[in-house]
Structures are given as C-alpha cells and as structure tokens.
Structure 1
Amino acid sequence: MDGKKILIIEDDDIVARTIERCLRGGEYRVTIASSGVEGLQAARRDVPDLVILDVIMPGMDGYTVCKEMRKDTLLAEVPILFLTAKTKDDDKITGLAAGADDYLGKPFNVDELLLRIKAILRRTQRMKQESAQPAGPAAEASPRKEAPERIVRIGEYTLNTRTFEFYSPQTGKFRLTPVQYDLLYHLMTHPGEIFSPNRLLDEVWDYPSDAGSPDLVRVHIKNLRERIELDPKNPVFIQTVPGYGYTIPLPEEG
C-alpha cells in the first residue's frame, strides 16, 4: 500500500501534523487541509485514496464535507474515516449516515488509527480489483463464483459486483459505498447464516477483536435498512436475531 494518497482535513494543526508523522513512516503520500472548503478543493485537484476528516471545523463542518463528497461523482467512492472528539452515539449515526466508512474518537490510539487505515485501504483495493475483472467465462473462475453477469441474488434482491449497485424490490436501485458493498456482499453470500457484530468486524472490516466497535456494524445495518426497506423498523431483508446478530434469510422455495 506504499504511495497511497491520504488527505487529512483537520483544523487543529497539532493533530494534523501528528497524524501526518505517523503516516509518513508508512510511506503514504499525505496532504493536509485546514478547512472543509480547502479539503474539498484539494480532493478534487488530486483524488485521494482515503480522507481522514474532522467534524468540528469553522465554516463547513465535516458532516457537510462528507455529504458533498458523496454527491460528487469524482469523489463518491473515496473512503472517509471520521476522526473527531464528537463521540456520542448520535454523532456516530450522523457521520455514518452522511456516508462515512468508519468513525474514530479523539483522543485516539495511533496504532488503532493505522490499523483502521490499512483495513479500509485493503477493502477498497479489493473492490477495484474485482471491478476490473472481466465478465463472462473469466468471471466464472473467480473465487467468489458469481454468475457471468456478476450478480448476487437473494430472491428479488440483487447485488451487482461490477457496478456496486443494489436493487431492492421495495425501494429500487442505488449504489453502495465501499463498506456497504462489502457488508451486503458478505451477508448475501452466506444466506441463512447468523453473524454477530464482532464477527462482522473481523470478517468484513478486517479488524481484530480488540479494535472497532459493534456500534459501527449497528449503524451501517441501520443505514442500509433505511435504503432497502419500506419499513426499516420491521426489516424483511436484513433481519436481527435477538441475542445473536444479523442474517439474510434464505428465500422461501416456491
């Protein structure tokens, strides 16, 4: 992952330089922007592989920056990691609902930050490699064994592994963020299996057991249900098994 471009949008120069020093040791290419507007301009000039984004900034706050990136076709698929002192559950929900991939509170552990950065970059690199694979007979040889059109199907619900679009018979078609894609792909390729939040953190986020929070899984599931379900509080597709975790049920035969 040497040479990956990391954009830090952070108005506290001490924090920004601390992160920069940590990343320089990993031979990342680091750019720092001290405001939301400056950060968006920097991202559009040179699209980064990852954005580390503060929330509380003068002018345009981090939530707005995140939403603007997700609306911009140039930046829509760039992963975003919030790094902020706003760590209440409502803050995390707001940030992840805006389109962020992960959320880490301040003060932060440098080793955990580096772990999350590496995990996010591995996921996005995997998605790029998969999208570059040819359709047709070559796709049939893929370890994931998609059909030639590269569609994963559960009943009427479909996931296109080339365009990262999901179709719900209730709400129609929409494009997923990288982490939403990985989460749905994992659940849809294991229908009927129940996954605890900690297991999903391990198998989807690539985080060890002592990193990450089950809240991260809970909020991403909540956001997906709001896009997939007519009634997100009574989900049909991604279901909760109380005391165990989440599952996508096997479609009923006939």
Structure 2
Amino acid sequence: MYHILCVTHDRTMCQMLQDQLQVDGYHIIHADSAQIAREYITEDHFDLFIIDLDLGDNSGETGAQLCRDLREQLEALDAPIILTASPLNTQMAINMLETCGDDYVRKPLVTRELVARIRAQLRRVAVNARVIGLLRINPDSFSVYIDGRNVNLTRIEFDILYFLINMPQEWVTTGEILSGVWNYPAEAGDAALVRNHIRNIRRKVEADPERPQILQSRHGRGYKVHAHIEVEHAV
C-alpha cells in the first residue's frame, strides 16, 4: 500500500483523491498545517507528499518552508514531492521545482490530472529502485568496488559500510551505528558524527551523492545499503 501525505487546507480535495486511489491500494493522510504534517512524518513512512504552497498556519510556517525542510530530511531519496499552488504563486512553484519539488500542479486542481501525476511519480521511483549496482567488499583487505570501480574509503568509512551490510534488519538506526562502530553505550554519541561520515561515503560510492541510490536513508528509520552485495575474503 502506498502512503501519501497531503498537506493542504483543502480537505475535500484529499477526500476526492482517497476515493479515486483507494481501490489501487493508496492511502491518503490529510494534514491541514505544517505542524501536523511534521507530527505525521515522525510517526510514519510516506511514499509521496503533496504540499500546498498556499498553506499557512498559526505558527507562520508556509508550504514552501515545509517543502525545503522535508527535502533536506529525505536527502532526496525516494519520496517525491508534488506542489500545488494558486496562479498567484506560480513563479514560486517553478522556483521550488529547482530546489525541492518534483512536480507542480496549478490550481484549481483537476483531480484526474493530480492522480495521473501521483501515479507517474511513484512509477519513476519504482524504476529507479530497480537500478541496483554491484558492491564487492573485502573485510580482509578493506577494499570496496562499485560496479568494478575501486572506492578508496577510510577505515572508519569502511567499518560503517560493512556494519550496515551485516546488520540483519533492513534499516539501521543512528544509535545502532554509534554503538556498533564506535562502541558507544545506548543513548550516547553524536548523531552528527554519523551523518558526516555517511555524507563522505556517499561522495565516494554514489554516482550522484545528492540523490543517493546505494547508501539510502529514511527519516525516522535510519540507513541501509541498497545494492547487490558480494563479500570476498583473501585467500
């Protein structure tokens, strides 16, 4: 089932989307403010976001601000953001496409058009997810190859990557990395330490570090390695 978070004051539009998409296994969650949207995001995983740029709430937070913050949290991973806006905010929407949005629908909304764009974005994500590279790693020589290309990692970068590969669960939390790699006790250590090393590893292993496909992350869940993995040992 696809989970979609619809952030807008227009509850009727969200209900119309739900009516059209629920047959195909889509579930629409409505948030009428950025604050409520953030609460949902911390509690659940969403496959796609619809953000109304005309949004404003009592805190003064706008849809544009939410979009920018959300994209930073997602690290441009695998959740598309579709923007909606009135004609007065068309230029803003175009500018936002350069920084955080994946698509834009102008108001007044035509539900069939928005549904088509939602399906197109989710198809695009599914296709990207199937493009998986070959990662060969040797814990004896501390060597890493991505599709035959030698990747020169520092020892701590190698340890993080190897730890992620060997964890049984799909997603590995920052706390688990701090404990497993640095031997920090529970609730200790600095999450920024992990983020900085993850950023450096992505610069070396990803074709486009801003849109990581191999070393993935998901807000609220952690990190995982998405690749065909071969572990080699020295003879």
Q: TM-score, normalised by structure 1?
A: 0.51
Number of the residue aligned with 1:58:
56
Matching residue within 47, 50, 69 for 1:49: 47
> What is aligned with 2:216?
none
Cross-structure match for 2:102 = 101
Q: Secondary structure at the match of 2:131?
A: helix
Structure 2 CA distance for partners of 1:61 and 1:4, relative to 1, 3 Å: same
Q: Are residues 73 and 92 of structure 1, via their aligned partners in 2, closer, same or farther at CA, if it must alter by over 3 Å?
A: closer
Q: Which residue among 206, 218, 225 is the counterpart of 1:163?
A: 206
Task: Map Cα deviations across residues 157-180 of structure 1 (whole Å, 9 max, x no partner).
Answer: xxx9x7352xxxxxxxx51389xx
Taking only the aligned residue pairs, the percentage that are identical comes to: 21
SS at match of 1:175: coil
Partner of 1:168: none
Q: Is the 8 A contact 1:44 1:75 kept in 2?
A: no
Which of 35, 38, 46 pairs up with 1:37?
35
Q: What are the equivalent positions in structure 2 for 1:16-165 lying under 5 Å apart?
A: 16-59=14-57, 60-73=61-74, 77-86=78-87, 89-131=90-132, 133-135=133-135, 148-149=148-149, 163=206, 165=208
Deviates more, 1:81-90 or 1:97-106: 81-90
User: Which string of whole-angstrom CA distances, capped at 9 and with x for unpartnered residues, describes residues 223-245 of structure 1?
Assistant: xxxxxxxxxxxxxxxxxxxxxxx
* C-alpha spacing 1:53/1:89, structure 2 compared with 1 (3 Å): closer
3-state DSSP of counterpart to 1:125: helix
Aligned positions, number: 151
Q: Return structure 1 stretches of 4+ with deviation > 6 angstroms.
A: none
Q: Which moved more, 1:23-32 or 1:58-67?
A: 23-32
- 1:103-252 matches, within 5 Å, as 103-131=104-132, 133-135=133-135, 148-149=148-149, 163=206, 165=208, 174-176=209-211
The residue type paired with residue 16 of structure 2 is T
Aligned equivalents of 2:113 and 2:22: distance in 1? 16
Aligned with 1:25: secondary structure? helix
Distance (Å, rounded) in 2 between the aligned partners of 1:52 and 1:91? 16
Structure 2: state its 5+ residue gaps: 137-145, 152-202, 214-235
CA RMSD of aligned residues (A): 3.2
Q: TM-score, normalised by structure 2?
A: 0.55
Shift of the alpha carbon at 1:86?
4.0
User: Taking structure 1 as reference, are residues 81 and 87 closer, same or farther at Cα in structure 2, changes over 3 Å only?
Assistant: farther
1:128 shift after superposition: 1.9
Give the superposition deviation at 1:50.
0.4
Bigger mean CA deviation after superposition, 70-79 or 109-118: 70-79
Q: Kindly provide the CA deviation profile for residues 91-134 of structure 1, in whole angstroms up to 9, marking residues without a partner as x.
A: 22222133100000112222221221111111111222224x43
Q: Structure 1 residues 92, 128: CA separation in 2 closer, same or farther (over 3 Å shift)? A: same
- Taking structure 1 as reference, are residues 150 and 99 closer, same or farther at Cα in structure 2, changes over 3 Å only? farther
User: 2 CA distance for matches of 1:150 and 1:51?
Assistant: 37
Aligned residue for 2:169? none
